[in-house]
Amino acid sequence: MIVLVAENEALVAVTLALQLETAGHRVLGPASTVEHAAALALDERPDLALVDIDLHHQGDGVILARELQDRWHVPSLFMTARPEVARAAADAALGVISKPYDLADIDDSLLVVESIISGGSLPRPPSPPSLELFSEDSSASVAVQLSKPSIPLEARPR
């Protein structure tokens, strides 16, 4: 899976990227700003974005998740210590991974998301403790969203 990482805390971003690579994923980023993350998505469409909802003065993770969804049909998972803020923007992402999280939860969360994206059912036993999906309908809405035709990257204006 190609995963875009948008996280402005350098140590968290690097640790997350290394964990994802170790698990066999290809990582775009990490990006610390909305602009950098959008540029990465323009160059190569990720399968999923892990987005820090609060990029501090570098931009807003909710805006980024909505842009990724609207422009490229890329689903996002928010990552935050403030899940109530993520819940208020539930229309922009599949769910939230609450910080602090165990790195093993990241691997398990991506397995859940891969199942959802591929149109499968939610795996049982339940999701990892730090993962909260915003809707049981996530799999249906993602399947519909991903089935929309998209402009190939090479045909997009730069």
Strands (E), the chain: 2-6, 26-31, 48-52, 76-80, 95-98, 131-133
> In this predicted model, what pLDDT tens digit does every residue of 81-98 receive, in sequence order?
989 999 999 999 999 999
Question: Considering the chain, what percentage of its residues have pLDDT values greater than 70?
Answer: 79
Which of 14, 8, 16, 56 is CA-nearest to residue 32?
8
| Mean pLDDT computed over 135-152 | 42
For residue 42, which phi and psi values (nearest 5 degrees)? -65, -40
What SS3 state is found at 52?
Answer: strand
CA distances (Å), origin 57, targets 7, 9, 60: 12, 12, 8
Q: Report whether pLDDT(4) > 60.
A: yes
> In this predicted model, what pLDDT tens digit does every residue of 118-130 receive, in sequence order?
887 666 656 788 9
Give the residue, 7 or 121, on which the prediction is more confident. 7
Where exactly are the structural domains of the chain?
2-148
> In this predicted model, what pLDDT tens digit does every residue of 20-44 receive, in sequence order?
999 999 999 999 999 999 999 999 9
Q: Report whether pLDDT(143) > 80.
A: no
The CA-CA-CA angle for residues 98, 101, 102, to 5°, reads 155
> In this predicted model, what pLDDT tens digit does every residue of 105-116 receive, in sequence order?
999 999 999 988
| Mean pLDDT computed over 8-24 | 96
What SS3 state is found at 107?
Answer: helix
pLDDT for position 55: 83
Domain 2-148 classification at class level:
alpha beta
Whole-angstrom Cα Rg for the chain: 14
49-53, 79-83, 133-137: segment of lowest average pLDDT: 133-137
pTM: 0.83
What SS3 state is found at 48?
Answer: strand
